[in-house]
Every structure is written in structure tokens, then in C-alpha cells.
Structure 1
């Protein structure tokens, strides 16, 4: 059975546009997923990237065309300039880490709910009540926002180091336990084909 390390930031529009296709692909191939939320702003300088605010205007102009295009292509709503972006990604990331440790709910649903809160619902995922609503809707204890804080912070930092060591440089990024790597929601089809032994 394949195992997929899923590296992402809860601030990524491309992770949002992935929807729950990763979970569908994993279920189809009997693969397991380890969710690894990380601090993308700390990852960029360590792997040759730049934060959006520091990128050349030409790159940002392309991003402004590409995101709505990709959203339309897969039939998902998207607010290109959400009210609460960027925001502090740590609280929601800690909660996802705590939920993964606790088990018992829909982890993929939780991740997508947090991303949707940013890119569709105009909510600030740095706020405890927003994260708690996402936890509850996905079948987790909303109290994880408090009880999972310490372990979440430690794992969040460890995920960054794991990402650097694994050759990860963006979000979403999928690393299969056979060493295959896929960057971007537009490479999920390739991941699917790889797991099927066709690519």
C-alpha cells in the first residue's frame, strides 16, 4: 500500500483548488495520506522561492489569470483577493495536526474546510471560532484548538524540516513513499496514474 506525504499551507489557493481529489485518489488505490501543514513563508527562502509580495509583477499578473482559470476549469468558486489573506496560518495548522493525531473525523474534509474558509467564505482562519467550526463540521472535538497547541507547534516546525529534506518547495506538494514527487493541484492526475502503475 502506497503512502503519500501531503505538504501544504492552509493559505494556498492551489491547495484549495485541489479540493478533495487527493483523498479520492488515495481511496481508489488503497493509499494512506499523512497531512503535513507547514510554514510556506519559511520554506520559500530555504528552497529558492519568493513570497507572493516579493515576486516580479509579471509573475503576479500571471497568477491573477491562472487562479480564476483553474477554478473555472474544475468548477470551484474562488475569491482571488480574500479579505483575510495572508493571515496567521499557525492556529489552523496546529488544529489539523492535532486532529490527525486524535483521529475519528474526516481529516481531508477538515483541510478543505479550512482552505474554503479563506478562499470562498471570507473568514479569518487565525480566529479560534473559525477553526473550531471547521473541526466540528469534520467530526472532531473543537477543543483541539487548545489541547493540541503544544504538540501542534512542535510538529508544524518538524514538518518544515521534513519538507526541506524531502525536496519540497511549494504547496500543494505530494511525496509518495517510493520517492515520486508531484507539485501542484494540476499534477493530481499524474499522481493518480503513477499509483496505477501507468506513469
Structure 2
């Protein structure tokens, strides 16, 4: 039987990637899937899909997104989370993403390392653009980040980051995290149970057609 692949698109500062990561790993392992990490640049992908940048959203939306919704999901998932928006949340993601890409190239435990970065940002308030902070987070999961940091900003590594971003755009992704299974998109960690279901039950599109769009 061919091993199925889940493409895991996320930004390294994504709250919902953090909240969904342990459950995603459980699902992937339970079904023997190959999990392909694709860290990408979030803002241009969201904006191409018609979404607003966070700077362009209402304060009410930002308060909700960075407040109650994250806190509810953190409680539900049993994860610790900051009671405020991370201090360095708007800093560049090229370094942290590059470290993950370099780790993949070296066959290291990318599941553990990516979660360590996400958790360090959302629980410990680290700056993902700070090499020392990334090294400390990596060491907690037994990874020496020094060679990864050296490779992270090299053109070949950053080219993969850009390729991931362009692929996310080509797939018309709405945001982070997004999971792609056999061409089907599951957007948001709140859809992980649908992803799990899809791995056991073939999807049958409904034959229902809304009369209001008949002939469209």
C-alpha cells in the first residue's frame, strides 16, 4: 500500500499551527502518513486569497483572534499559551523557517523542532528572528541548531522557503495551518478531525445542488 502524504503548510509564528501540531502528529502517526513540512511566508498568501493583513483588520477582530479564540483552543488542546500577543510577533520568519528547512535537509526530527519553535513563541514569548533564542528552543528537543542557523539564510535554503510560499499561493491557501491530503485542502487546526476522518473514509461529494445557483 502506498504511504499517504500530508503536506503541512504553516508559518512559524502561527498560533493555530501551535495549537494543532500535537494532534496533527498523532493523526499522521496513527495512519502511517508521511508528513511534509512546508513553512511559508503568511501575509502574501493570505492577501492573495483575498484576506486582510492583520494590520488592516478591525481591532475587534484582532482582540478576538488573539484573545478568547486562542485561549479556548489552548484549554481544549491542553497547551499553555501567552495571555497577550507575542512581543516579537511581527518580526521576520526567514530565519526560523530557514532553520526548519535546513533541519529537514539533514534528516533531523522536524516534527519536534517545528513544535519547539511554535511553542517557544506562543508560550515563552521568544523572538523567532533571534538566533540565540532558536538555539535554546532547539536544544530543548536535543538538536544542535548551530549548523542549521549557519545554513538558514543561505540562498539555497531561502529558495525553498520562497518555493513553499509560491506553492501556497498556487493552491490558493487561506492561511496557516493548512493540510493537503491527496489534493484536498483542510484549512485550520479546527478541521483536523475532518482530516482524520478523510484518512479512513473516502469523501463522497454531495449530489445536492442549490437551486439558486443552478445554471451558474
1:119 and 2:122 aligned? yes
Counterpart Cα distance in 1 of 2:199 and 2:161: 27
Deviates more, 1:81-90 or 1:2-11: 81-90
Take 1:92 and 1:148, find their aligned partners in 2: how far apart are those partners?
A: 8
When residues 88 and 148 of structure 1 are mapped into structure 2, their CA distance, relative to the original with a 3 A threshold, is closer
The yes-or-no answer on 1:61 pairing with 2:66 is no
Q: Specify every segment of 5 or more residues in structure 1 that has no aligned partner in the other structure, as ranges.
A: none
Aligned equivalent of 1:8: 10
Give the alignment of 1:92-103 within 5 angstroms: 92-103=96-107
CA distance 1:95–1:186, shift in 2 (3 Å): same
Q: Which has the larger radius of gyration?
A: 2
| Structure 1 residue 193: Cα displacement | 0.9
Q: TM-score, length-normalised on structure 2?
A: 0.85
- Do the aligned residues in 1 keep the contact of 2:46 with 2:173 (CA within 8 Å)? no
Partner of residue 176, structure 2: 171
| Matched ranges for 1:150-189 at <5 A | 150=154, 151-176=156-181, 178-189=182-193
Residue 131 (1) aligns with residue 134 (2): yes
1:52 counterpart residue number: 54
Match of 2:150 in 1: 146
How far apart are the structure 2 equivalents of 1:112 and 1:121?
13
The answer for unaligned runs of 5 or more in structure 2 is 204-216
2:206 maps to which residue?
none
Number of corresponding residues: 197
Contact 2:98 2:151 in 1 (8 A): no
CA contact (8 A) 2:45 2:172 kept: no
The alpha-carbon deviation at position 51 of structure 1 amounts to 1.7
CA drift at 1:198 = 5.9
Q: 1:152, 1:50 → 2: CA distance?
A: 28
Aligned counterpart, 2:25: 23
The answer as to whether partners of 1:6 and 1:175 remain within 8 angstroms in 2 is: yes
Task: State the Cα deviation string for residues 9-41 of structure 1 (Å, max 9, x = none).
Answer: 011111111132211111111110110111101
Structure 1 contact 3–33 (Cα < 8 Å) conserved: yes
Could you tell me how far apart the structure 2 residues matched to 1:61 and 1:130 are? 27
Q: Which runs of at least 4 in structure 1 moved beyond 6 Å after TM superposition? A: none
Q: Is the 8 A contact 1:92 1:125 kept in 2?
A: yes
Let me know the Cα RMSD of the aligned residues. Answer: 1.6
